[in-house]
């Protein structure tokens, strides 16, 4: 497909620039020479407030939008606050997508998640498996919100002919991640616990679940490159996957994290805790055909992320346990 290149001088709005994804997208846009990038903190603009979002788009009129803002969390947070994950994310998406459509945004990328796919989807997961089976119960509310966003993008394309697209990243990690005990995903959670255990000299570290589920991990800087690539090379209503095309068991991941931080104690698996989806490896055929591939290997990216986390610990900007 032929898609017009992005203007580096046109106004570009990154929604959620203080998060893991939005922060990486912002860094990449600035490095690529985008000269009119607009951001707002949640304190400056609550994306759940329809009137505030409408006013922002009426005044700023961004030509391009990357919708990376979302309420996110791991298994614990999703299981504890499903209503919040559903309500907050749907409101954010509806407000931004509708306001962008009304006020002249010509290109928009909505970022979802690989959790939108059925729990037992055929592996690797193709984009057309969406809505073909039941979701993973521990994060079904979040998944439904993201599915609604995908369908909203498709509806705006059909009704108004807009060049809005949606992409589904796999599990992400990197600088700017959430390392909190309450809200972290599996990889930053493991980094925090193994580093704390190393510093304390703890003989064991407990890992949730059996260790058998397999997960795929994409460095957030690779995702940021993919976002710009898709805005310049993809124009279709169907969602498109972003990942690396390889996965590994959680037990192997935990050992890799332990080795990376220098923890030499024993790993203990708490099988009373949920495993989540057994596997969700994404099919990379569509995005590879567009000329994009991940460049940062897991070992390299993990080592850099551990270094970043230690810098934040030393600066007192993240919690050690």
309 is annotated as an active-site residue: no
Cβ–Cβ < 8 Å for 309, 195: yes
User: Does 74 carry a binding-site annotation?
Assistant: no
User: Does 306 carry a binding-site annotation?
Assistant: no
User: Does 308 carry a binding-site annotation?
Assistant: no
Cβ–Cβ < 8 Å for 216, 171: yes
Task: Return d(Cα 164, Cα 38) in angstroms, integer.
Answer: 19
Tokens of 97: 């997508």
User: Does 185 carry a binding-site annotation?
Assistant: yes
User: Does 316 carry a binding-site annotation?
Assistant: no
User: Does 88 carry a binding-site annotation?
Assistant: no
User: Does 273 carry a binding-site annotation?
Assistant: no
- Name the one residue in this structure whose structure tokens are 């230690």: 310
Rounded to whole angstroms, what are the CA distances from 125 to 165, 216, 264, 285?
Answer: 19, 12, 36, 10
User: Does 28 carry a binding-site annotation?
Assistant: no
User: Does 171 carry a binding-site annotation?
Assistant: yes
Give buried/exposed letters for 219-256 (b at 16+ CB in 10 A, else e). bbbbbbbbbbebbebbbbbebbbbbbbebeebbebbbb
**Residue whose C-alpha is closest to residue 232's, from 66, 107, 96:** 107
User: Does 178 carry a binding-site annotation?
Assistant: no
User: Does 172 carry a binding-site annotation?
Assistant: yes
User: Burial level of 202, CB count in 10 A (0-12/13-18/19+)?
Assistant: middle
User: Does 259 carry a binding-site annotation?
Assistant: no
Looking at 13, 142, 173, 263, which residue is catalytic? 142
Q: Could you list the residues known to form a binding site for NADP(+), using ranges.
A: 16-22, 111-114, 146, 169-172, 185
Catalytic center residues: 142
- Residues of each annotated binding site for substrate: 193, 208, 215, 275
Query: Annotated binding residues, as ranges?
Result: 16-22, 111-114, 146, 169-172, 185, 193, 208, 215, 275
């Amino acid at each position: 497909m032929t898609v017009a290149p992005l203007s580096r001088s046109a106004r570009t709005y990154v929604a959620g620039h203080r998060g893991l994804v939005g922060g990486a997208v912002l860094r990449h846009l600035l490095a690529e020479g985008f000269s009119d990038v607009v951001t707002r903190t949640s304190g400056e603009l609550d994306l759940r407030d329809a009137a505030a979002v409408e006013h922002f788009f009426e005044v700023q009129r961004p030509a391009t939008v990357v919708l990376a803002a979302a309420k996110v969390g791991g298994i614990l947070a999703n299981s504890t606050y499903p209503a919040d994950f559903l309500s907050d994310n749907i409101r954010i998406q509806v407000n931004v997508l509708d306001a962008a459509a009304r006020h002249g945004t010509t290109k928009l990328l909505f970022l979802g998640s690989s959790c939108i796919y059925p729990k037992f989807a055929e592996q690797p997961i193709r984009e057309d498996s969406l809505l073909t089976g039941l979701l993973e119960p521990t994060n079904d509310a979040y998944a439904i919100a993201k599915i609604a966003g995908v369908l909203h993008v498709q509806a705006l394309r059909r009704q108004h002919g807009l060049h809005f697209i949606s992409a589904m990243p796999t599990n992400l990690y990197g600088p700017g991640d959430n390392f909190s005990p309450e809200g972290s995903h599996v990889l930053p959670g493991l980094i925090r616990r193994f580093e704390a255990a190393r510093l304390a000299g703890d003989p064991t570290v407990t890992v949730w679940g059996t260790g058998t589920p397999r997960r795929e991990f994409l460095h957030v800087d690779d995702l940021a490159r993919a976002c710009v690539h898709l805005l310049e090379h993809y124009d279709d209503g169907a969602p498109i996957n972003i990942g690396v095309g390889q996965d590994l068991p959680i037990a192997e991941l935990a050992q890799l994290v332990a080795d990376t931080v220098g923890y030499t104690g024993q790993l203990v698996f708490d099988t009373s805790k949920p495993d989540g989806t057994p596997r969700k490896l994404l099919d990379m055929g569509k995005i590879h055909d567009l000329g994009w591939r991940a460049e940062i290997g897991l070992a390299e990216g993990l080592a850099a992320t551990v270094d970043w986390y230690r810098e934040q610990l030393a600066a007192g900007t993240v919690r050690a346990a």
